[in-house]
Structure 1
């Protein structure tokens, strides 16, 4: 029977889970793609179940993989803590581990950096993975540990907290205003030319669900 406690197998499993392909996992771990593939095969053989299915989007985790992921992440955090403690004799009570944060491109670029810098200064053993996209990542599928969103999540089972307010504005050139005028309601924007993301209407839908002051 395969040794399921082999850290190299779980390390490859985590890399594939997070990056969605063997090639990307190989680059992240410094291993070859065949080696990562062999690790996944050995782990699946030892568990007796498939961990990933192939799709156009890459390798998608099965229910078994989703159930295994938090335990593998706990082992990863424990192993990292062991290494740090062995090297520096660090405080075992110091917060440590990997925290994956999902945020929009704007929030992740302009709002979070000084906040995360402060956290890193206070807790150097916490590794922060910042994922920037404009999708509403699914925390229940462990796409991220924390999601900073501009709208309140609708999923049951999540703990949501209001962190603050970010002012948003719509801007137009004076020539445009002279030609088309200013909209006085959100609904009036339907008759105007709006520049935004071409394939992502998340921001537009968020604005549409709000009200002008």
Structure 2
């Protein structure tokens, strides 16, 4: 190993070669030339005295050493990005970048009007939105603020419970006109059902309560909540949907209300070190107010959404 400290640029190139499997793919993603990325990899290998990739006709394959280094390089990238976000917020007034993480359905269907109002109030604020059903790690600063459907337990986080979002079975009125309305859960398997593809621990915990709502009965399977919502809206069949979201469209009809009802406990969380950040404080407050309005079915939120289209 050489005494020279590896450059962050070398690690950044290393991560992109891991992700793309080639120098050319990494170069395109980084806006660099292929020889430059190649030099970065060679320099990093020399500095660490390890071989990171095996070269072959179909690309670059990571070695065991590269796979062991991956989480540390990812953490370094997250820290560097957080450093830039913190620096961007300094100056007069509310300004800078806030990185949010939330589920697909909340990010696509609920947050846009909230964030549009926030931007109108604070035009120097920039939002980065990560749509994922997998929680980003706030402790490693992969995001500044998270909307989560479970209670955060880490002591280093500031967490606020927003409320419970009810989920029920819904179908487009066009589907129900053609196929009828199920009168009980036992009739559900005779209908076209929209649901998940891969089971999660949460889904498995619900199987005893809703035996008819299982993968073997689904005619449309997708792990994307947005894709499931699109299928419901298209009249494909009956699927689970957040009740406040379905209530915005009079053509979506709830079925089996008494027999099928779930509650998604909804929380906002951020790292306690960001308490004094003006950019995060105003964003946290706007999200809390907007999500509460959504859960409560505030008609003003729907009006904002329509006006934002």
TM-score by length of structure 2 reads: 0.43
Cross-structure match for 2:184: 182
> Larger relative CO (CA 8 A, sep 6+): 1 or 2?
2
Superposition pairs for residues 132-143 of structure 1, below 5 Å? 132-143=131-142
Cross-structure match for 2:104: 105
For structure 1, which runs of at least 5 residues remain unmatched after alignment? Answer: 82-90
- Separation of aligned partners in 2, 1:154 and 1:74: 22
Cross-structure match for 1:65: 73
Give the C-alpha shift of residue 109 in structure 1. Answer: 0.8
Q: In structure 2, do the counterparts of structure 1 residues 197 and 141 end up closer, same or farther at CA, with 3 Å as the change threshold?
A: farther
Q: In structure 2, do the counterparts of structure 1 residues 190 and 150 end up closer, same or farther at CA, with 3 Å as the change threshold?
A: farther
- Separation of aligned partners in 1, 2:106 and 2:167: 12
- Separation of aligned partners in 2, 1:133 and 1:23: 28
Cross-structure match for 1:35: 36
Q: In structure 2, do the counterparts of structure 1 residues 177 and 132 end up closer, same or farther at CA, with 3 Å as the change threshold?
A: same
Superposition pairs for residues 36-55 of structure 1, below 5 Å? 36=37, 38-39=39-40, 42=43, 48=48, 54=62
- Match of 2:130, SS state, is strand
Contact 1:104–1:133 under 8 Å retained in 2: yes
Give the C-alpha shift of residue 171 in structure 1. Answer: 2.3
| 1:125-157: CA deviation from partner (whole Å, max 9, x where unpaired) | 433221212223333344433221222235554
Cross-structure match for 1:117: 116
- Separation of aligned partners in 1, 2:45 and 2:120: 40
| RMSD (Å), alpha carbons | 4.7
Match of 1:76 among 77, 84, 99: 84
Contact 1:99–1:145 under 8 Å retained in 2: yes
Give the C-alpha shift of residue 111 in structure 1. Answer: 0.5
Give the C-alpha shift of residue 45 in structure 1. Answer: 5.9
- Separation of aligned partners in 1, 2:26 and 2:97: 17
- Separation of aligned partners in 2, 1:30 and 1:49: 27
Does 2:130 correspond to 1:131? yes
- Match of 1:72, SS state, is helix
Give the C-alpha shift of residue 36 in structure 1. Answer: 3.9
Cross-structure match for 1:163: 162
Superposition pairs for residues 84-95 of structure 1, below 5 Å? 92-95=91-94
Q: Which has the higher strand share?
A: 2
- Match of 1:107, SS state, is helix
Q: Which has the larger radius of gyration?
A: 2
Give the C-alpha shift of residue 108 in structure 1. Answer: 0.7
Tell me whether 126-135 or 163-172 shows the greater mean CA deviation.
163-172
Give the C-alpha shift of residue 80 in structure 1. Answer: 6.0
- Match of 2:92, SS state, is coil
Give the C-alpha shift of residue 102 in structure 1. Answer: 1.6
- Match of 1:166, SS state, is strand
Tell me whether 188-197 or 98-107 shows the greater mean CA deviation.
188-197
- Match of 2:139, SS state, is helix
Give the C-alpha shift of residue 105 in structure 1. Answer: 1.3
- Match of 2:157, SS state, is coil
- Separation of aligned partners in 2, 1:15 and 1:96: 32
Give the C-alpha shift of residue 110 in structure 1. Answer: 0.9
